[in-house]
Amino acid sequence: MKCEVIRDLFPSYIDGLTSEESNELIEEHLEECRECREYLDDMKEDIVQENQPVKNKEAVKPFRKLRQKTRRKIFLTAGGAVLVCGLIFGRGLLYYGRSWTANSEDVKMTIEAQGGIATLRFAPEKKNCKLNAEAGEDNTITIVESKQIPFAKTYNPNAYWSCTFIDEDTVMGIDGQNMDFSEDQVLTIKYEDRTETISIGELASQALENPVAQSEDVKMTLEKDDTGTVTLGFFPELMGVSLKVEDTGENQILIRQYYDGQGEPVENGAFYTVDFIDENTIRLSDGTERKLSQDDVLTIEYEDKTEEIAFSDLWEGSLPGDEQEG
């Protein structure tokens, strides 16, 4: 697991909203990664819980506010620095203490949605700036920008919002109580120059859908038996992940990833078979036969790329790039 991926889960992890499987992945990673341990500790200190009561059942207030640093801490850090830097820093302090609503052009928003959790990440485009997400009424968040303190330990300058979806129309609240939301509810993001709305239902469906696998996380094997059946095996390179093959069209498949947190990668593989009657004919799953043309290919979709394997290669029982091994 990449550190970035693990860190994106931290906001939910701290709130105890991550699944047991995710927790295992996170804790495994933390054991061997000091940077992420420190990062998590910093983040824990910086969290400000939103404890507003829910006004009505329709309201979606699952979101938790993360501040990169509390004001108190800013001054503590500054206090230490002033001893060293004297007046120069003292003057700067006034400036660094200010914050303002960010311009949308200075913010890069990305949405990570998997395993039921949707996380919005707001990263500053400007150097030496950091962002906060401030909660308002009716699922509104305002993106606030301020100056990063110089000399301070490098903190994560990003702001995060995340929520956990139980199903397509239920979200987990802060107090652990599930809340329903309606299809037309939106999350409103306010910038200085404009506002952006995101459908909460859309976030939910993204978060609940299992992600398409990255090609680098999948090892493909090919085996051909005496009866002309070619079996493609897809095995996860990641622990705790299993794969499934999804038919997305004629001669077209997609590899999807599931987090089940158990089993060895070799046990969590998925298979796809092609039944050759002869070199130019395959038997489809409904029993009918289909003639192959010269340029027929099997298309395999990954998140990052699409791979095509000619049926002639499948018939030969070899994968492209496999020649040396015979």
152 touches Zn ion by CB under 5 A: no
Longest CA–CA span in the chain (Å) reads: 85
Single out the segment in contact with Zn ion by CB under 5 A; choices: 33-41, 116-124, 147-155, 162-170: 33-41
Closer to Zn ion at the Cβ: 7 or 130?
7
Tell me the closest approach of the beta carbon of residue 128 to Zn ion, in angstroms.
24
- Which one of 27-35, 45-53, 182-190, 259-267 is the stretch in contact with Zn ion (CB under 5 A)? 27-35
What's the closest the beta carbon of residue 199 comes to Zn ion, in angstroms?
32
Q: Which residues of 16-44 are buried (b: 16+ CB within 10 A; e: fewer)?
A: ebbeebbebbbeebbeeeeebeebbebbe
Q: Does the footprint of Zn ion cover residue 1 (CB under 5 A)?
A: no
Interatomic CA distance for residues 57 and 152, integer angstroms: 42
Among 2-10, 70-78, 101-109, 271-279, the segment contacting Zn ion (CB under 5 A): 2-10
The whole-angstrom separation of Cα 326 and Cα 318 is 8
Give 33 or 310: the residue with its C-beta nearer to Zn ion.
33
- Which sign, positive or negative, has the C-alpha torsion 288, 294, 295, 301? positive
* Burial class of residue 212 in the structure, from the number of CB atoms within 10 Å of its CB (0-12 exposed, 13-18 middle, 19+ buried): middle
The window from 1-9, 172-180, 256-264, 274-282 that contacts Zn ion (CB under 5 A) reads: 1-9
Judged by CB under 5 A, the stretch of 3-11, 94-102, 194-202, 241-249 that binds Zn ion is: 3-11
**Rounded to the nearest whole angstrom, what is the least distance from the CB of residue 4 to Zn ion in the complex?**
8
Closer to Zn ion by CB, 29 or 69: give it.
29
Tell the smallest beta-carbon distance from residue 6 to Zn ion (Å): 6
Position 269: which residue type? G
Q: Which is nearer to Zn ion, 9 or 171 (CB)?
A: 9
Q: How many residues bind Zn ion (CB under 5 A)?
A: 3
Distance in Å from the first CA to the final CA of the chain: 33
Instruction: Kindly state whether residue 3 participates in binding Zn ion, applying the rule CB under 5 A.
Output: yes
Asked whether the beta carbons of 39 and 10 are under 8 A apart, the reply is: yes
Tell me if 5 contacts Zn ion by CB under 5 A. Answer: no
Which tokens go with 134?
A: 């401030």
Query: Which strands sit side by side in the sheet containing 229-236, from one edge to the other?
Result: 218-224, 229-236, 270-278, 281-283, 289-291
How far lies 229's CA from each of 56, 278, 292, 322, in Å? 59, 10, 15, 19
Nearer to Zn ion, 36 or 282 (CB): 36
* Nearer CB in complex with Zn ion: 25/230: 25
Residue 33 contacts Zn ion per CB under 5 A:
yes
C-beta closer to Zn ion: residue 33 or 152: 33
**DSSP code at position 18:** S
**Structural tokens at position 10:** 């931290």
Site for Zn ion in 190-229 (CB under 5 A): none
User: Is the Cβ of residue 127 or residue 153 nearer to Zn ion in the bound state?
Assistant: 153
Helix axes 3-14, 34-46, angle to 10 degrees: 30
Nearer to Zn ion, 3 or 266 (CB): 3
Q: Among 86, 151, 157, 159, which residue's Cα sits nearest to residue 122?
A: 159
Q: Which of residues 35-74 bind Zn ion (CB under 5 A)?
A: 36
Choose the binding region for Zn ion from 10-18, 31-39, 216-224, 309-317 (rule: CB under 5 A): 31-39
Contact footprint for Zn ion (CB under 5 A) = 3, 33, 36
